[in-house]
Structure 1
Amino acid sequence: MTLNVLFAARPERWESYEPILKSEFARQGLDVALSTDHPPETVDYIIYAPNGPVQDFTAYTRCKAVMNLWAGVEQIVGNETLTQPLTRMVEEGLTGGMAEWVTGHTLRYHLEMDLDLARKPGDWSQHNPPLARDRPVTILGLGQLGQAAGQMLAGIGFPVTGWSRTQKDIEGITCLSGDEGLIEALKTAQVLVLLLPDTPATTNIINPESLALLPKGAVILNPGRGPLIDDDALLAALDLGQVAHATLDVFRTEPLPEDHPYWHHPKVTVTPHIAAETRPATAARVVAENIRRGEAGEPFLYLVDRDQGY
């Protein structure tokens, strides 16, 4: 039987995804009609992006699953018209890209690269950073992305502490959980990496109280979600020197407005939501595998827990 699969991401993504998806469907032995305009009542599966054309799922009465191309689902999980199973994207390209972004910016701070980038002719002043083993890193959020980033940093020699809502056991990472665990994780964080999902429980988790727990002069990297940070509190901590620098990739409003203080603060680096991008080649494998699973009656990979919000 031919399966009707709707590609419901932005039109400019179609060209890169279409041939790769068709190749993966064939490799899985799936007979798929892939299109951007199937009539809703004929659609078996939806490949979805929150900024795509589909926002109301009511008419997709035959649809067996909606497969998000993004790691984050906060823009869709509360959609009351979506009653079908929802999966999030976990794929090796996105995961590897995030781990590399976190590692690169951690090393930028650890090696004090900015001092050399700003060096003037004739300035021969020398700086000797500690070894990685003496620079503790804390990662808030130990999902696929947090685990990958933490293990990459641990492989270089950084002592890595990770915190999550529920207790984890991950090789190379000291894992903490709960309220007391969060306090302990923050107190040692010379570099703090934010990779939590955006939920009511995580909104403003970086606030005046949590910022005060950090070692003076800590650095914050946020490639996770903008609402994790109380922006006014972070700006105050930067001005006071409690936080030495913040590298921010995600924001409450995107693109970040031109008049936002982050653009103009000397201790803030803004990157335009580029820390991790879904790679079509590797994402297509996950989509095809989930459709195969759906047709075989097997559990979907990376099924979203609506109650938890991720």
Structure 2
Amino acid sequence: MIRIYFAAPTWSEYEPWLPAALTAAGIRAEILLEAPDPALIDYIVYAPSGPLADFRPFTRAKAVLSLWAGVEKIVSNQSLTQPLCRMVDPGLSESMVEYVTGHVLRHHLGMDRHIVNPGRIWDPTPPPLARQRPVAMLGLGELGLACARALQALNFPVQGWSRSAKAIDGLETFHGRDGLREVLSAAQIVVTLLPRTPETENILNAESLAWLPAGAVVINPGRGPLIDDGALLAALDAGRVGHATLDVFRTEPLPQDHPFQAHPGVTITPHVAADTRAPTASTVIAENIRRSEAGEPLLYLVDRARGY
């Protein structure tokens, strides 16, 4: 019998799904919501919002399986010596694609001009075609690539940027500082889906925002610290950035006195672009436990040195 410690505050969401997923994977398991004897635990299902901070007593644990896609709140924990797997959830990917595609189309079509239009100004000027609206996708992991493919399917010309070189069929990719400048210089819409690392923090700053064509749109459903808030506000005021749609922030909920709250060029959404979905995430957790028990490589293993 495998013992699983569910160290997250969301058991009610997973109770209908995780036991069934484990059974379907051929795993006989006991799921514990407390761990009075940590040395008996085989696997930890973890969320940073849960009760667990010290992993040292869990000497038998074979893996820590995070329910979150981001691992910046745990990866530097010195007590964590067990393998750590981040969550790559098909449901999360689908919802991120829907959010990004929806907001790209919103800005591409100029929908605010017609929806938020108290004067009912009659302006029959049509938007350009999608193939005339370049998009920069910063981040080419599971989420970034899924969003890039969806936008390509709508005929948007997409260029991708990542920290290291990647060769992806059908997608023009760049890396490094020069590559970042090249993709931003051509982009009318920028989507940020990078992990938070020391190298990506403030990747959109005063210098890089100045590379954008005047009036470009920024959409950030990735991580709040990817953007220098002050630099973005200055770029909005100067017209360098035409609008910013932001789903993530350095402090959440976003304080009411933050300048983003009142800025007419900023759309705020309350971290709803994508969330882990219990039905699909349960299948991912069960599959990783099955793989571990079978001696197969774990899925979505975090590279501690890279931070994701």
CA distance in 2, matches of 1:163, 1:75: 24
Equivalent residues in 2 for 1:51-90 (5 A)?
51-90=49-88
CA distance in 1, matches of 2:191, 2:257: 25
- TM-score when scaled to structure 2? 0.98
Paired position in structure 1 for 2:209: 211
Give 1:88's aligned amino acid. Answer: R
User: Does the Cα contact within 8 Å between 1:159 and 1:173 map onto a contact in 2?
Assistant: no
Paired position in structure 1 for 2:92: 94
Among candidates 16, 25, 29, match of residue 28 of structure 1: 25
1:53 to partner: Cα distance? 0.8
1:298 to partner: Cα distance? 1.0
Change (3 A) 1:65 1:205: same
Task: Name the SS of the counterpart of 2:4 in structure 1.
Answer: strand
Paired position in structure 2 for 1:142: 140
1:119 to partner: Cα distance? 2.4
Task: Name the SS of the counterpart of 1:19 in structure 2.
Answer: coil
How many residues align? The count is: 307
Deviation per residue, 1:157-187 (Å, 9 max, x gap) = 0000000112222233211112221111110
Task: Name the SS of the counterpart of 1:63 in structure 2.
Answer: coil
User: Does the Cα contact within 8 Å between 1:160 and 1:172 map onto a contact in 2?
Assistant: no
CA distance in 2, matches of 1:211, 1:199: 19
CA distance in 2, matches of 1:214, 1:265: 20
Among candidates 263, 277, 285, match of residue 261 of structure 2: 263
1:121 to partner: Cα distance? 6.1
Give 1:28's aligned amino acid. Answer: A
Deviation per residue, 1:174-228 (Å, 9 max, x gap) = 1111222111111011000001110000111111110010011000000011111
CA distance in 1, matches of 2:63, 2:249: 29
CA distance in 2, matches of 1:160, 1:216: 18
User: Does the Cα contact within 8 Å between 1:162 and 1:175 map onto a contact in 2?
Assistant: yes
Change (3 A) 1:23 1:239: same
Among candidates 31, 39, 42, match of residue 40 of structure 2: 42
167-176 vs 111-120, greater mean Cα deviation: 167-176
User: Does the Cα contact within 8 Å between 1:101 and 1:275 map onto a contact in 2?
Assistant: yes
CA distance in 2, matches of 1:122, 1:287: 51
Among candidates 281, 296, 299, match of residue 297 of structure 2: 299
Structure 2 stretches of 5 or more lacking a match? none
Equivalent residues in 2 for 1:65-214 (5 A)?
65-120=63-118, 123-214=121-212
CA distance in 2, matches of 1:44, 1:57: 12
1:297 to partner: Cα distance? 1.1
Paired position in structure 1 for 2:236: 238
Task: Name the SS of the counterpart of 1:129 in structure 2.
Answer: coil
- Aligned alpha-carbon RMSD (Å): 1.0
CA distance in 2, matches of 1:167, 1:78: 25
Give 2:271's aligned amino acid. Answer: H
Change (3 A) 1:121 1:217: closer
User: Does the Cα contact within 8 Å between 1:50 and 1:75 map onto a contact in 2?
Assistant: yes
User: Does the Cα contact within 8 Å between 1:4 and 1:38 map onto a contact in 2?
Assistant: no
User: Does the Cα contact within 8 Å between 1:151 and 1:172 map onto a contact in 2?
Assistant: no
CA distance in 1, matches of 2:288, 2:277: 17
Deviation per residue, 1:225-253 (Å, 9 max, x gap) = 11111100000000000000000011111
1:91 to partner: Cα distance? 1.5
Structure 1 stretches of 5 or more lacking a match? none
- TM-score when scaled to structure 1? 0.97
Paired position in structure 2 for 1:6: 5
Paired position in structure 2 for 1:18: 15
Query: Structure 1 vs Structure 2: percent identity of aligned residues?
Result: 58
User: Does the Cα contact within 8 Å between 2:114 and 2:120 map onto a contact in 1?
Assistant: no
